[in-house]
Structure formats: structure tokens, C-alpha cells
Structure 1
Amino acid sequence: MTEILVKGADAAAISTAQSVAEHSAWPRLKNAVEEIRPWQSADGSIDFDAEGAPTRAAAEAAVERVVAAVEELSPLLPHGAAYHRALVADLRAWADGAFGVPDFLDSLLAFHPAANRVDGLQHLVVFPMYTQNGNPDRNLEAVVLRMVWPEWLAELERTRYDNPLFCGITFEDFTAGYDTNSAVLFPETIAVREAPERFTWGGIFCDREAARFRAVTTAAVDVLGLELPEDIRAMVEDQQRCQEAFVLWDMVHDRTHSHGDLPFDPFMIKQRQPFWMYGLEELRCDLTAFKAAVQLEADGVAQGRDVQYAVLFDRMFRFPVTGERVRNYDGLGGQLLFAYLHQHDVVRWTDNTLKIDWERAPQVTNQLCAEIEKLYRDGIDRPKLVHWFAAYELVSTYLAPHPGSRWAKGPDALDLSQPPRKLVDDVLPDEFPLSMFYEALGKKLKKVIASTKGIRASSSGFTFEIGASKTA
């Protein structure tokens, strides 16, 4: 056994355990990591000949400060003792190897948070890694987190949505790589000599997702003049309810990548495909979570209705106007959802006010999910390029392609003697530009979206009271 499992009476003591982030060793660890990060190259190594580089002795001293802090904090986390031992060994091996490209495979293999899902359980995590939607370089990062695994969620995972690798988590504190838009902790981002045969966990920070959702939704509702049902208004104003909605949404979304009628490898890892294929996959997973939430609401699960509106609002308000327009597949999915609902008369933009048919919204959203599922099911019998064109046809039915698009002109406009992956070069960076509605909305929400970078649930600076000023 590589970890000490926490259960029974031990689990009851978790809420009163000393916070790692409040221990005096944590700021020492954090400061040492922040000292090391600027010295690192994009691959995580340290070039001692570079301008501004430290001496090797200085780098070794900083690593030893990290080691000392980890060893001081480890007794607070007996369930992580094996990981901490491996972490110390990997840190010292990095130093002994003259700070080349870091290899933390041994500590990664010793870290098993999904095997010990106990609500409120703390973890101290230190790895050289990039942070998705954050820092693209493999810098050393440190984060203190807590597991989110209430009994109602554990019961749903046991009985309906088996996902043994999923970890709902919240931030306690973090280094600069997470002072960004990143809301995930994924093992594939960590610097290792070789990828493990299989990953055994994946974490999503539901507190950051919820806080970001509340900020952007509150702003969008005010800008668009949208009248919310009282229960949905109350949900947007309640951080805890939103966190519960997101952790359930994430758990179902995550498992959907490997469930359903799938052409092949739905994650599309290491595959070169047009970005609308990624957009449809992410939207399929979100709409599957939405469909599950409709059923959960019917079955009396309190979080079911909240998940539906978390999916709708995040997809329609935040996703389309967040990030660059270059191959923005999540933005594309949000645009598609809004356009589908608009063209089926579920959402109306009239007199500069957005109106939603709340009764029809679940039915029509599930209808879009069914169209995407049919695309996937039919794709099993199609060649790759034919499947790509079928997906393009689905998207372009509701979204106008760029007028200069070669793909929009059909197969005759492309050199089909090339392999499909080469034809991806003919895809425009912004194949489906924003509509006039979203161009205007993006300008209105630009500041509030920028302000959610590095947002924390406990100190976000937002009041989130709909109808009031959006900044405290």
C-alpha cells in the first residue's frame, strides 16, 4: 500500500485537522518554489549560463528549503507520506542531476488521491508542471488543496456515474502557476521521463469554477436584463450551491469522454483534427451532464436543477467570449448552444433584453445533445474525413462560417489527395467567428472576465448579488 487510507473515526477528525496553508512551513515552501520558478526554462531545467541565472549552490539551497518544508508538513498528512518521500527523492535527484529536465515520475506514481476520496481531506502537491489555461511552461508549482467528496456525491458515483479516477477539489493556497485561469490538476501536465501506462486520478477545482461562473453570470444577467427564476437567482448568489453543481457536472462530464457511441478515442489525444471536433466533444460531455441533471431533478436530487443552469449559463455567457479566437473550441461549443436555443425559440434577444423559455430549455437542450450523439453514432461507420465534414455540416447549420473558409465551400475546394491531418491546415484560426450579439457581449464582459484570473472562492472581490454593483 502506497498511501494510508483515511476512514471511519479518522475521517471525522479531518475538519479539525490543522490547515497546511496556515502552518509556518507553508510560506517557507511557497517562497522557495517562487524563487526557483523564474530560474527555470520552458522544459523545467535551469540553464546556469543564462543571464540572471543563479549559482548551482543557490539553486541547491532553494531546493533544500523546499525539501525541509515538505518534511515538516508531511506529518500533518499521514495519508500522503509515501508521496512526500518520493517527492523529496525526486527533488534531490533533480538537484544531483545538475537541474536538467526534471523527472518526477516516481513521485507521480506514488500520488493516489482518487484512492482516498474523503471529504475535506488535505493534500500538499509539489510538481514541475504546466497549468492548463495558465502557465504553458513546466515550472515547479506547489498547491494545497482539499478533497470535495460529500456523501451525496459519493452515492451518485457509486450508483449512477462510476468515475473512480475523478477528484473534486478546492484550493487552500497555490504558487504563481495557479494565479491564472487554470482550474485543473492533471497528471499528464507533470514533467516525467515517460508517461505512465495509465493515469490514476484527475482533479478539477470546483471552487474556482463556481466563483468564476458566479462573477460572469452575475455580470451577464445584469447586462442582458435577464430575469431569473428565484431559485436560480439564489443559486448564483450561493458559492456552496455552485460548487456542488460544478463538482457533479465535472464528474459526469469527465466520465462521458469514455462513454457512449464513440467513433474512436474521444479524448483525441495526439490526434490532429479540426478544432470543431474538439468543440463538439466537450459540448457532448457537457450536454450529457445536462441530460443527467434533468433526470436527477426528476428523481428529487437537489443539485440536478443547479447543474442544468450552470451548464447553460457558463456555456452561453462565459465560454464564447473567453480566451483568444484562435481554435477556441470551448468558445465554439458555447456559440453553438446559444445559436441552437435561439433558432429553436428558447432564447430571444428582443428590445435589448434576453428572455429564456425556462420550461422548454431542458427539452431543446437535450435535443441538441441527441443530434450530437447521432453524429457520433453515425461516425462509427464513416471514414474520418467524411465524419469531419458531417460534423462541419452540423455546426454550420447553426453558426455562420467565415466567408473566406475553404471548408465551407465543401470537398471540391480542398486537395483531397492529401491525408486528412494535412487538410487541418486549411481550417481558419477562427472558422466560426462571433456573431454580432457576442461581439457586443464580449466588450461588456471583458473586464469582469479578466478579473476572474486567479479567482478564489473566499476572497474573490465580488459581491455576486444580482442587480447590485458587481465589484465589492
Structure 2
Amino acid sequence: MTEILVQAGAEGAVPSAEGRVVDHPAWPVLKDAVEEIRPWQSQDGSIDFGAEGAPAKDAAELAVGRVVAAVEQLAPLLPHDAAYHEALVADLRRWADGGFQVPDFLDSLLAFQPAAHREDGLQHLVVFPMYTQNGNPDRNLEAVVLRMVWPEWLAELERTRYDNPLFCGITFEDFTAGYDTNSAVLFPETIAVREAPERFSWGGIFCDREAARFRRVTEAAVDLLGLELPEDIRAMVGDQDRCQQAFVLWDMVHDRTHSHGDLPFDPFMIKQRQPFWMYGLEELRCDLTAFKEAVKLEGDGVRQGRDVQYAVLFDRMFRFPVTGERVRNYDGLGGQLLFAYLHKHDVVRWTDNKLTIDWERAPQVTNQLCKEIEDLYRAGIDRPKLVHWFAAYDLVSTYLAPHPGSRWAKGPDALDTSLPPRKLVDEVLPDEFPLSMFYEALSKKLKHVIASTKGITASSNAEKAAA
């Protein structure tokens, strides 16, 4: 493969190992080379040189050569990732030498071990062929520079209360086009490999994007709905750093909850086909568990505990239901359910075009919903799958009105229960629980704000606020 050297600056100086990757002259070279390669790739990450608009093979080799050279220039800044970058260069060269078939970056994936060095502020340069969840569905080459978020208070909570050795809180430094989207995660299962590892050893969530998105949508919703916030919560919504701390704690507890508690199933650990309300309840259970733990943490004097509670409430109630398409939108369903439950129990009221919240009762009633879901799970251990699905449907439909054309809403007699349960998933409507009139109106008012959060970072949110 052709080797291309990257100039280290006018005087040939290479920054010290303490320098920022994005300030090194090799970073824009790497980024530009990746952006050149991405449009050439097919959905599976390969390059079809016979396709219309495809490059000449030597042009692709030259572009990958620039990526390799840039990685080698940047690697001295990141000695903790030396094994990964060495394997990455080998994977890139093998991909090119093999004619740019479906990429296989298993070796470099196995060498990348960010959870083994959770040090606050530690930089990583990550390059993989991958899809980005809630972003780009194709396995294009992507490059992202990130920093670890691992303050001592969080590390202490992980050591003593919420063991989660694979979790990585991270923030963006810079990224290629696949992350100029709604994606806020870096997950190993998105990467192109010849075979899935026996187990994954890390998972990263960008708390800065989550916090910036939360702040922009919450501020707009609060203003639109006339909601009066307690002073400390208003201050939190206005503070990017506080929101990032809330989200990294929320994410850490949420992530571990998928494998804790009474679990008749875990849809994100075991591949199985289920109605989307089951996924919605699982995600909501994990969020409400984080909420419940946040109430305990607040009682124990952990300042971030109170912030997590309102991050969960506002993100779930204001952003989730009105974000994305309505087709099998399980996160939206969880947000609708939380709002409806709180409304049913007089914690939230929409009167005279103004939203009010009973701040004193909100923690108690939110924890009550968490218990109802936990009770559903515990009872589900003794139920056949289809019976459990109907019990979950009953819980959701107690608070949310099903679509009037739903066959599931009519009960078992309306379905051919002789079929395997997975076949009955086909009878679930794409929007089984449509938006209420409240959320239909809110969706129209917030759609431009929601759209503006695509690709958002802490710095871009600050720039918009300054403008």
C-alpha cells in the first residue's frame, strides 16, 4: 500500500504527549482523508470499484495511506493506546491490501481497552468502520477524538455502590460525519468485524452531547409550557458542567441496571423479537432505577443526586416523546408513560395553558411507577412469554390509550394465539400508542428545537447561546 507522510508543521515539530490531538496538524489530515473515503463505501463498509462514482483503486489506497500516516503521527500523544493504534494501522493496511472488501477490524477492536484506564480527561483517538446509533446506519469509516469523564466522586460511587467496570463516560473533542448526527454513544457492537467477540469490554456514552441536547430542549419546553422551576433546578439547566455530571451518573446506573434485578428477559443482552413496548418498559425501568438511586444519593448528601432526578424527568417528559419517528419508538413510549402516570396521580397538571409540577410528590410517585414495572418483571418470571407480553400491555394501556385499530388492545381472542409469540409481533401497529393531544401540540412547537440538536456539542450549544 502506498505510504503517505503527514507533515508535522512548518518547522517539523511534533507536540508533546500532553498536547490536544485536535490541535496537532495531523488531525485535520486524518479527518479529511476519512471524509474522502466515507462516500466511496457501501452499506457494509466495502468499496465497489465497479460502481458509478467509485474511485480508482490507487486513489482509495492513497486516502487510507494518509489515515495510516496521520494515526502514526498522533499515536505519541496517546501512549496508553499504543497497542490499539498499532493494531489499527495493521487493520487499515490489511483492508487496503485485500482490495477493500468488507472491513474486519476485530484485532484493533480487541486492542482498544478504554475501560482499563478510566482516568478523568484522558484523550483517545478512535478510528473504526462502524455505524453510529441514531446516526448513520452504514458501516463507514469514522474518526473521533474524545476524552474520558471519570472524576473521583464518580469513581468512588462505581467502586462502592454501582459496580460497572465496562462503563466509560466520554465527551467529544472532534469527529467525522457519522457523529454529526443524533448519535451519543460509542459501542463496540457497531464496529465491522469478522466475528463478534465472546464479550465486549467497554461501552461509551457522550455525556456532553446528552447534556447540551437536554439543556436546549428543556429550556425551550419550560418557556413554552410556562413551567416555574425551583431555583436550584433552573441553575442546573443553565450549567453545562452540572448537566454533564448528572448525565454521566445517570448513564452509569442505567447501564448496569440492564443486568440487575428480577429479569425474565433482557432484550439488550439476548437477541429476541418482542413487541416494542417491552423494550420501552426495559429502558424506562433502567431510567427509573437511576431516578430511585438518585433520590437515595440526594439523601446521602451527594449533590448530583438531585440533578439526576430532574434530568430524568425533563428528558423523559419533554424530549423523548417528541423525538424521532413514531414507528416502534420505544423511548418515546417510555416518556409518554411517565408523563401520563404522573398526570394520573396529580403530580403534573396542564391547566390554563400552563404546566405545573408538584415538586414534593414527584420523587415518591416516580418511584411508585418504578415499583409497578419491577413488580411486572418479578411476576413475569412465572409467566409464559405471551402472557407476560399481555400483562405488560395492560400496564401500559392503563395509562396510555392504544390506537383504536389495534388488535392487541382487543385481547387474546383477537389474535391467533396458536402462532409462535414472535409471529404475533407482526400484529403490533407501528404506532401502537399514539401521541396524546398534549404531545401532538408540544411536538409541533418543539420540532425545530429538536432538529437543531443534531450534531450538538457543549461548545456548539454555547456558541448558539452567545449568538
Distance 1:181 1:98 in 2: 32
Please report the TM-score for the alignment, with normalisation by the length of structure 1. 0.95
> Residue 458 of structure 1 aligns to a residue in which SS?
helix
2:168–2:202 Cα contact (<8 Å) kept: yes
The one-letter amino acid paired with 1:331 is: G
Give the C-alpha shift of residue 155 in structure 1.
0.1
CA separation in 2, counterparts of 1:306 and 1:237? 12
Deviation string 1:306-357 (CA, Å, 9 cap, x unpaired) is: 0000000000000000000000000000000000000000000000000000
Q: Give the secondary-structure state (helix, strand or coil) at the position aligned to 1:348.
A: strand
Q: Is the 8 A contact 2:17 2:78 kept in 1?
A: no
Amino acid aligned to 2:221? A
Instruction: Please say if 1:177 is aligned against 2:178.
Output: yes
Provide the C-alpha distance between the structure 1 equivalents of 2:113 and 2:461, rounded to a whole number of angstroms. 30
Give the Cα separation in 1 of the matches to 2:411 and 2:462.
Answer: 49
Q: CA deviation at 1:461?
A: 5.4
8 Å CA contact retained: 1:288, 1:369: yes
Report the Cα offset of residue 99 of structure 1: 0.3
Q: Is the 8 A contact 2:35 2:177 kept in 1?
A: yes
Contact kept, 8 Å, 2:17 with 2:77, in 1: the verdict is: no
- Once the two structures are TM-superposed, the CA of residue 431 in structure 1 deviates from its matched residue by 0.1
Alpha-carbon distance in structure 2 between the residues aligned to 1:461 and 1:121: 23
Q: Which residue number corresponds to residue 87 of structure 1?
A: 88
1:13-412 equivalences in 2 (<5 Å): 17-267=18-268, 269-412=270-413
Distance 1:243 1:67 in 2: 33
Amino acid at match of 1:399: L
**How far apart, CA to CA, are the structure 2 residues paired with 1:290 and 1:304?**
8
Residues in 2 aligned to 1:378 and 1:97: alpha-carbon distance in whole angstroms: 53
Structure 2 SS opposite 1:74:
helix
Question: What residue is the counterpart of 1:5 in the other structure?
Answer: none
Provide the C-alpha distance between the structure 1 equivalents of 2:347 and 2:213, rounded to a whole number of angstroms.
25
Letter in 1 for 2:410: K
Which residue of structure 1 aligns with residue 4 of structure 2? none
**2:454 paired residue number:** 453
Secondary structure of the residue aligned to 2:461 is: coil
> Which residue does the alignment assign to 2:10?
none
Distance in 2 between the 1:144 and 1:86 partners? 18
Structure 1 residue 33: deviation in Å? 0.2
Superposition RMSD on alpha carbons, in Å?
1.1
Give the C-alpha shift of residue 269 in structure 1: 3.8
| Alpha-carbon distance in 2 for matches of 1:158, 1:401 | 43
Partner of 1:8: none
SS class of match (1:247): helix
TM superposition shift of 1:16: 9.0
CA distance in 1, matches of 2:393, 2:270: 20
Compare 135-144 and 451-460 and name the one that shifted more: 451-460
Partner amino acid for 1:430? D
Deviation at 1:264, TM superposition (A): 2.6
State the secondary structure of the residue aligned to 2:85: helix
- Structure 2's unaligned 5+ residue stretches are 1-15
Task: Name the CA distance, whole Å, in 2 between partners of 1:451 and 1:459.
Answer: 11
Task: Note the C-alpha offset of 1:458.
Answer: 1.0
Give 1:267 shift. 1.8
Measured against aligned partners, the alpha-carbon deviations of 1:137-194 in whole angstroms (never above 9, x if no partner) come to: 0000000000000000000000000000000000000000000000000000000000
Q: Deviations over 1:102-139 (max 9, x none)?
A: 00000000000000000000000000000000000000
Matched AA of 2:301: G
* Residue 416 in structure 1 maps to residue 402 in structure 2: no
Letter in 2 for 1:407: W
Aligned-residue offset at 1:460: 2.0
Scaled by the length of structure 2, what TM-score is found? 0.96
Distance in 2 between residues matched to 1:382 and 1:85, nearest whole Å: 51
Runs of 5+ unmatched residues, structure 1: 1-14, 465-470
Instruction: Give the whole-Å Cα distance in 2 for the aligned partners of 1:252 and 1:159.
Output: 13
1:417-442: CA deviations, max 9, x gaps?
Answer: 11000000000000000000000000
Letter in structure 1 aligned against 2:413: D
The letter of the residue matching 1:172 is E
- Residue type matched to 2:371 in 1? A
Q: Distance in 2 between matches of 1:368 and 1:314?
A: 17
C-alpha separation in 2, matches of 1:445 and 1:40: 35
Aligned counterparts of 2:216 and 2:281: Cα–Cα separation in 1:
26
> Which residue identity lines up with residue 390 of structure 1 in the other structure?
A
Q: Distance in 2 between matches of 1:231 and 1:85?
A: 48
Quote the Cα distance in structure 1 between the aligned partners of 2:463 and 2:429.
37
Task: Measure the CA separation in 2 of the matches of 1:385 and 1:76.
Answer: 54
Instruction: Look up the match of 1:3.
Output: none
Which structure 1 residue ranges, 4+ long, deviate > 4 Å from structure 2?
A: 461-464
C-alpha distance in structure 1 between counterparts of 2:270 and 2:82, whole Å? 32
- Conserved 8 A contact 1:82-1:110: yes
Are 1:442 and 2:443 an aligned pair? yes
> Could you tell me whether the CA contact under 8 Å between 2:283 and 2:334 is conserved in 1?
yes
Contact 1:44 1:137 in 2 (8 A): yes
- 2:135 is matched by which residue type in structure 1? G
1:6 aligns with none
Partner Cα separation in structure 2 for residue 141 and residue 86 of structure 1: 16
Q: Deviations over 1:398-449 (max 9, x none)?
A: 0000000000000000011110000000000000000000000000100010
Letter in 2 for 1:395: V
The amino acid of 2:432's aligned partner reads E
Alpha-carbon distance, 1:268 to partner:
5.3
Q: Can you list the C-alpha shifts for 1:7-36, whole angstroms capped at 9, x where unaligned?
A: xxxxxxxx9921001110000000000000
